[in-house]
Structure 1
């Protein structure tokens, strides 16, 4: 359904975001990166509790809620799929960044989730981690790598992805229940998005 020009009301208790989908169809050159105390490890068959903790620490400020609302069995089925790869960025003995690569569609990869914890934003860790995500994704025989970002994300996210070589190709509006109203995300998170409920 196409929205008409002009304003459209969002019901109380809901949130609305503009979602931009971006893609690349050839392997890009990696951007220069800052050195740091970072390591990367692939996490095979990640523990659900570990994943939920890192997902929350990376994404709750940006209202990442889709994995939060999954049951443990549903989440385990996704992150334990042989066609899904989970990576953690390590920093001084703690996991502080997340990559989830989804190869379940033939010949393509979706970066389903990507980010670092608040303490590493603007440290150079994000660029470092993106270079590793691109290397991991393009080590497979794919024709397309894609991801999406939205207006709930960090305000620099869209430009960050474009600098990495992604090109916008689709825009959508997403409306969902505000996850802070049902406890999926703490109420104090994402203060840049007002609660109207």
Structure 2
């Protein structure tokens, strides 16, 4: 979801939904997709790769909040304590990612989640979300000294893909808040200039 502001851009209403799980038992995993799909943790903090995933997945759904970040700012995000990025691959090609952000109160936020458009509609998203949520619940096992996860939460909005909310609900998330926010109308940037022209 975009948090960018543009003084001269017209504003539009965006509905933001906040969802959560409060127990590992809440997770209702999706069936694994057919074909050679694997999910691997991106263990080396690499801004180039992270920015590629962010633009390739979010370009057509108006993810713009990180586009202006410097290399150092990307690096800082990737090196934050308890942060993890898990990437789905099909036949060795990145298909999408889920980024987890561990917080001090025992909560883990799904900061970003989605698929590159060419891989949507093939049951990879439900599988990746299931896998990522399970990793959110056992995140403390990979980060000694971190408080065990007590809550996994995410927000999605009316600018996101048409199946996003349904995927979260099917995986066992429950709605806990809804807000209407005014955001600037912006063209879909795509993964590179002119991609959606």
Taking structure 2 as the reference length, what is the TM-score of the superposition? Answer: 0.81
How much has 1:187 moved relative to structure 2?
6.4
Unaligned runs of 5+ in 2: 1-7, 140-147
How much has 1:67 moved relative to structure 2?
1.6
Structure 2 contact 100–109 (Cα < 8 Å) conserved = yes
In the alignment, which residue of structure 1 is the partner of 2:169?
A: 162
Structure 1 contact 58–116 (Cα < 8 Å) conserved = yes
In the alignment, which residue of structure 2 is the partner of 1:195?
A: none
Unaligned runs of 5+ in 1: 1-10, 192-197
In the alignment, which residue of structure 2 is the partner of 1:114?
A: 113
Q: 1:69 to 1:16 in 2, by over 3 A?
A: farther
Structure 2 contact 55–191 (Cα < 8 Å) conserved = no
Q: 1:125 to 1:48 in 2, by over 3 A?
A: same
How much has 1:89 moved relative to structure 2?
1.0
Deviations 1:27-62 (A, max 9, x none): 124233333221111112331111111111111111
In the alignment, which residue of structure 1 is the partner of 2:45?
A: 46
Root mean square deviation of aligned Cα: 2.6
Structure 1 contact 44–80 (Cα < 8 Å) conserved = no
CA distance in 2, matches of 1:23, 1:29: 13
Partner SS for 1:55:
helix
Partner SS for 2:87:
strand
CA distance in 2, matches of 1:49, 1:125: 24
Partner SS for 1:41:
strand
Q: 1:121 to 1:89 in 2, by over 3 A?
A: same
Partner SS for 1:145:
strand
CA distance in 2, matches of 1:15, 1:76: 32
Taking structure 1 as the reference length, what is the TM-score of the superposition? Answer: 0.81
Is 1:78 the counterpart of 2:77? The answer is yes
Partner SS for 1:133:
helix
How much has 1:186 moved relative to structure 2?
4.5
Q: Of the candidates 11, 15, 31, which is equivalent to residue 14 of structure 1?
A: 11
Partner SS for 2:44:
coil
In the alignment, which residue of structure 1 is the partner of 2:145?
A: none
